[in-house]
Amino acid sequence: MNLALFDLDNTLLAGDSDFEWAQYLISRGVLDREVYEARNQDFYDQYKAGTLDIHEFLDFQLKPLSRHPRRELDAWHADFMASRILPIVTAKGRELVRRHLAEGALAAIVTATNSFVTAPIARELGIAHLVATEPERSGSEFTGGVAGIPCFREGKIARVEAWLAGLGHDWRSFGRSWFYSDSLNDLPLLGKVSDPVAVDPDPTLERHARERGWPIISLR
């Protein structure tokens, strides 16, 4: 059996679901545009530069979830999927996922974006397993905190290994393992798999990929 891992934002999506969720809440008036829009852009720029403080960002990202009942959040998310996400799901990304699944690979999306935002996207893509940053919950409602290790940088390796262990697997369970990503922030997990693939990579990842002879592809 093989393992196929996919980053989500700017990889299977031609955009960033984290960024778009905050912009969506701003567009609805849920978040104050003057206060939040500049911060959202600043965090996104830090992520792309590899300088993001993940805990500072998660405080920004997850706190709004705690201010609204889950039923309201779910209704907003359904509209967010239709208006913001489906237009940026790439056909080539869907085909890549289908190919790995047809070959019998164990597949998962591995993303720093929280599971409230990304679980419906994983379902849309036909991927049963999601390894993501987990918002803390009290019952069905969100507290605004994060549960466990954020699924970011080296945290992606820890979260993937915990997920695999829960299924009775480890890295040695697989003949080959792929990870597809666009971001320098994913260099730790890219270095862990047998088959790292740079997808529409940022300049730092592109340089690393060329130096190491990793495949570089485009899903746009």
202-215 as b/e: b if 16+ CB within 10 A: beebbebbeeeebe
Q: Which amino acid is at 43?
A: F
**φ and ψ at residue 95, rounded to 5 degrees:** -65, -40
**How far is residue 56's CA from residue 190's CA, in Å, rounded to a whole number?**
25
Out of 9, 182, 186, 202, pick the active-site residue. 9
Marked catalytic residue, from 7, 16, 18, 202:
7
Amino acid letter, 20: E
User: Do β-strands 216-217 and 195-199 pair in parallel, antiparallel, or remain unpaired?
Assistant: parallel
Q: Which of 212, 206, 220, 166 is nearest to 193 (CA)?
A: 212
To the query of whether residue 74 is one of the catalytic residues in this protein, the response is no
Of 133, 135, 26, 127, nearest in space to 70 by CA = 135
> Within a 10 A sphere around the Cβ of 124, how many other Cβ atoms?
13
Q: What are the CA-CA distances from residue 91 to residues 127, 166, 181 (Å)?
A: 15, 31, 16
For the question of residue 18 being annotated catalytic, the response is: no
**Catalytic annotation, residues:** 7, 9
